[in-house]
Amino acid sequence: FNYQIDTNGQKLYDFTNDVIDWIKQNKFNNGILNLSIQHPSASLIVQENEDPDVKTDLINYFDKLVPMDNSLYIHTKEGKDDMPAHIKSSLTNSQITLSIKNGKFLFGTWQGLYLFEHRLNSQSRKIIFHFIGD
């Protein structure tokens, strides 16, 4: 299944409920779901979904870890966020595999699925959902 998220800047975009709905619609019961993002400047993460400060702190931390300063990089063709976005995505995940049991994620309390957009401008991001099981 090809899923799309339209982003509007560097943020964490929660898509947990969309995945849960997709699992229910397809009546998947037990197996694994692999999610793969099709872009080198955004990533997928599992993170706390209760306190919004976590999202703010993650963005601030990654911006300090990988500053948007073109004097630090060779690859700068698409602006100050170009190479930092690639580095951030290499430090996180381009794929996540999740366990499904009795039609539900085996998630911990306060966990959610996020697309972590590393670019400043609006983007259209594609994620491939691949389920193996019954």
For residues 90 and 42, the answer to whether their CB atoms sit within 8 Å is: no
Mean pLDDT score of the chain: 96
Residue 10 confidence (pLDDT) above 90: yes
Burial class (CB in 10 A: 0-12, 13-18, 19+), 83: buried
- How far apart CA 21 and CA 123 sit, in angstroms, is 24
pTM of the model: 0.94
Residue 108 confidence (pLDDT) above 90: no
Tell me the average pLDDT across 8-25: 96
Residue 105 confidence (pLDDT) above 90: no
What integer pLDDT is reported at residue 129 of this predicted model?
A: 97
For residues 81 and 68, the answer to whether their CB atoms sit within 8 Å is: yes
Longest dimension (CA), the chain: 52
